[in-house]
Amino acid sequence: MQSISVYDSLTGQKVPFKPIKEGFLSMYVCGPTVYSYVHLGNLRTFLSFDIVYRYFLHLGYKVRYVRNITDVGHLEDDADFGEDKISKKARIESLEPMEIAQKYTNDFHDMLKKINNLPPSIEPTATGHILEQIEIIEDLIQKGFAYQTNGSVYFDVKKYNQTEDYGILSGRNIEELLNHSRDLEGQSEKRNPQDFALWKKASPSHIMRWNSPFGVGFPGWHLECTVMSTKYLGETFDIHGGGMDLKFPHHECEIAQGKAAYGKKPVNYWLHANMLTLNGKKMSKSTGNTILPMELFSGDNAFFEKPISPEVLRFFMLQAHYRSVLDLSNDAILAAEKGFEKLKAAYFWLLESSQAEKQSSIDIHSWKQKCYQAMNDDFNTPILISHLFEGVKYIDGLKSNKQTLSQEDLILFQETFKEPSNRENFASGLAYLKSQPRAICSPPPKQFP
């Protein structure tokens, strides 16, 4: 196995990756709240973890990748008050909430398929796990980490913080926030403003509602991920991923819920993908500085001079490290398109080449190792791409007869470029790549047993 280092958001350091079970990877990534069309920033996050998924598969790991669908409980502004985002959209569009969830789940899947993402091993929904969420709430109440009030249930952050560290992931000093907010106590049904909802009482007008021991209501947003991740991956699993914006409060709450319920840390490594900007500014519907994936692919927008293919968008996004901010602009994506076409042309020439000599003037073994070193260093795709373009220079040298490769090195060079997710899929992988060229991607793997 390759020796991999990952940047753990909790420690703020790059650390060696060691799986809980040798040869196996358990990974959970927070999926979308399906109340609107998926945006490009979402695509970047899920593409980032698609690369992580593919690389572990490529190395021979048995991977269980769980990515959820949030179809209830996510209130406006990520708060514990206001209207459920899906219920609100259902009211606006005069549809049933599950029609809204299905409509935008379909869009989410369509867009990920267009950019050649692999589906996860398991894709559970929040509404499909209401009973499990009720069970963990009852457990947290019994252990003294949650309390009921007026038909709702809240997690007691102050009680939790007596023995644990709420704020450990985001670096927030919760004790200081609690001290500064004492004058607000009693102004709401929460004991402390930092407490978060595990179960919310449903108003008479609230569409999505379930019976529970606490009254008719619906689960809080944070709880679903604790329930579904531990159900399918265990009380502690290897990697939890998501967008940088989920660090607080969502992932902070997950840590608290997991520790309070199971008495152990829920995750060994926290990975977070950074944001995508448009023309140097944050994407925002209110300012009009936003674009949907289909508007980019069709060319029906005011930002780009031509339609951009999904494969070029994928390549463009991989040119920046997943932890860095990436700016999308007309010039940047056209440059990516030009580079991608150059790489693709060289790739296909290499696959068809039989130009072998007795000796090599190129050290393909060292070049291959540099490619692995890039990916082993926290999945550094921009460095990997730079090595692929170094490979293009080698190919240009072969085409002009200025470089030579032995038969053995030629085969190694070809196989490194076209390497599938696992060796058993090699032949089918080549056919797949020829029909759907992706210079740094792999064909669909066998599913986790």
What confidence tens digit (pLDDT) does each residue in 173-206 have?
877 766 655 444 444 789 998 999 999 999 888 8
For 287-308, the pLDDT digits (tens) are 889 999 999 999 999 999 999 9
In our burial notation (b when 16+ CB lie closer than 10 A, e otherwise), range 60-71 reads ebbbbbbbbbbb
The secondary structure of residue 250, as a DSSP letter, is: I
CATH superfamily, domain at 5-273 = HUPs (3.40.50.620)
DSSP 3-state helix, strand, coil percentages of the chain (rounded to 5)? 45, 15, 40
CA nearest to 369, candidates 416, 434, 321, 320: 416
Residues 121 and 52: beta-carbon distance below 8 Å: no
> Which residue(s) pair with 227 in the sheet?
none
Residues 169 and 251: beta-carbon distance below 8 Å: yes
Residues 202 and 97: beta-carbon distance below 8 Å: no
Amino acid at 319: Q
53: Cβ contacts below 8 Å, ≥ 6 apart:
27, 63, 65, 118, 120
pLDDT at position 75 is 73
For 153-165, the pLDDT digits (tens) are 999 999 999 999 9
pLDDT at position 409 is 96
The average confidence (pLDDT) of the chain is: 89
Residues 243 and 212: beta-carbon distance below 8 Å: no
In our burial notation (b when 16+ CB lie closer than 10 A, e otherwise), range 403-442 reads bbbbeebbebbbebbbbbbbeebeeebbebbeeebbbbbb
Q: What is the mean pLDDT of residues 316-326?
A: 98
**CA 10/CA 360 separation, integer angstroms:** 46
For 43-80, the pLDDT digits (tens) are 999 999 999 999 999 999 999 999 999 998 777 666 66
Residues 266 and 237: beta-carbon distance below 8 Å: yes
CA nearest to 433, candidates 313, 316, 344: 344
| pTM greater than 0.85 (yes/no) | yes
**CA 8/CA 14 separation, integer angstroms:** 6
The domain locations on the chain are: 5-273
CA nearest to 417, candidates 369, 373, 351, 340: 351
Sign of the four-CA dihedral 95, 100, 102, 103: positive
pLDDT at position 428 is 34
> Which residue(s) pair with 271 in the sheet?
241
> Which residue(s) pair with 84 in the sheet?
75
